[in-house]
Amino acid sequence: MTRRRRIRTFPATGTRETGFLMFGFLRSYFSNDLAIDLGTANTLIYMRGKGIVLDEPSVVSIRQEGGPNGKKTIQAVGREAKQMLGKVPGNIEAIRPMKDGVIADFRVTEQMIKQFIKTAHESRMFSPSPRIIICVPCGSTQVERRAIREAALGAGASQVYLIEEPMAAAIGAGLPVSEATGSMVVDIGGGTTEVGVISLGGIVYKGSVRVERRQIR
């Protein structure tokens, strides 16, 4: 019995740059990593290498079939669902599944995230299973954070990481978060107002008030 040896081949001289370009193309094509700002009013999705690829209202319209105990199906998500607020028949309800920056309706939030992920990857021929990092209010409880993580996993994420909103805002603003200097962030959102003082890669002080921007005069 003869043993076959597996031979590794390398590109010939002059094709190395082509190989690197092809590798870069494949890496960007198959990269599914997403960052999600799951807000009470709006949801934004950032894709590595592409920037913000989705900015939609956190609204879902649900069709009720067969009475109060009948089947519920998702009718529309995002901007299309928001346009239905106050304009739909009795068997269709447009709701906001997020309240004060956390999940108010788990099942609906899961379906909303799933649809948003699908929209963000609409150019892909394969079903996405991305790694996701999600912003959470720094005042959210462990139960609320677990609900967000499980909703994202249920929506198809392969891995889920959570980051507190003041830290995410500081990184996005280009503040020197890793240096020995204090940076204060005030993030006024649609459900909560977050305050954080950041230094040496951590949050030295943080506070979260469930007051939205429309309540501030």
Q: Which fold has domain 31-58+96-172?
A: Nucleotidyltransferase; domain 5 (3.30.420)
Q: Is the pLDDT confidence value at 64 over 90?
A: no
Residues 86-115 have pLDDT tens digits of 777 777 888 899 998 889 999 999 999 999
Q: What is the mean pLDDT of residues 113-137?
A: 83
CA 65/CA 101 separation, integer angstroms: 30
**CB–CB of 110/134 below 8 Å?**
no
Percent of all residues in the chain with a pLDDT value above 90, rounded to a whole number: 49
Give the model's confidence band at 217: pLDDT under 50 very low, under 70 low, under 90 confident, else very high.
low
Query: Could you state, in order of their start, the residue ranges of all structural domains in the chain?
Result: 31-58+96-172
Q: What is the mean pLDDT of residues 112-139?
A: 84
Burial class (CB in 10 A: 0-12, 13-18, 19+), 148: buried
**CB–CB of 192/211 below 8 Å?**
yes
Which has the closest alpha carbon to 79: 112, 114, 46? 112
Number of CB atoms found within 10 A of residue 59's CB: 24
Residues 17-48 have pLDDT tens digits of 444 444 344 344 446 789 999 999 999 999 88
Number of CB atoms found within 10 A of residue 38's CB: 25
Check residue 216 and give its pLDDT. 55
How would you classify the pairing of strands 98-99 and 42-47?
unpaired
Q: What is the mean pLDDT of residues 150-158?
A: 93
CA 51/CA 45 separation, integer angstroms: 8
User: 23-27, 29-33, 120-124, 168-172: which has the highest mean pLDDT?
Assistant: 168-172
Report which of residues 164 and 13 the model is more confident about.
Answer: 164
Report which of residues 93 and 197 the model is more confident about.
Answer: 197
Report which of residues 24 and 50 the model is more confident about.
Answer: 50
Report which of residues 72 and 185 the model is more confident about.
Answer: 185
Give the model's confidence band at 73: pLDDT under 50 very low, under 70 low, under 90 confident, else very high.
confident
- Supply the angle between the helices 106-120 and 142-154 in degrees, to the nearest 10: 50
Which has the closest alpha carbon to 74: 94, 101, 55, 99? 94
Specify the length of the chain in residues.
Answer: 217
Q: Is the pLDDT confidence value at 126 over 60?
A: no
Report which of residues 13 and 65 the model is more confident about.
Answer: 65
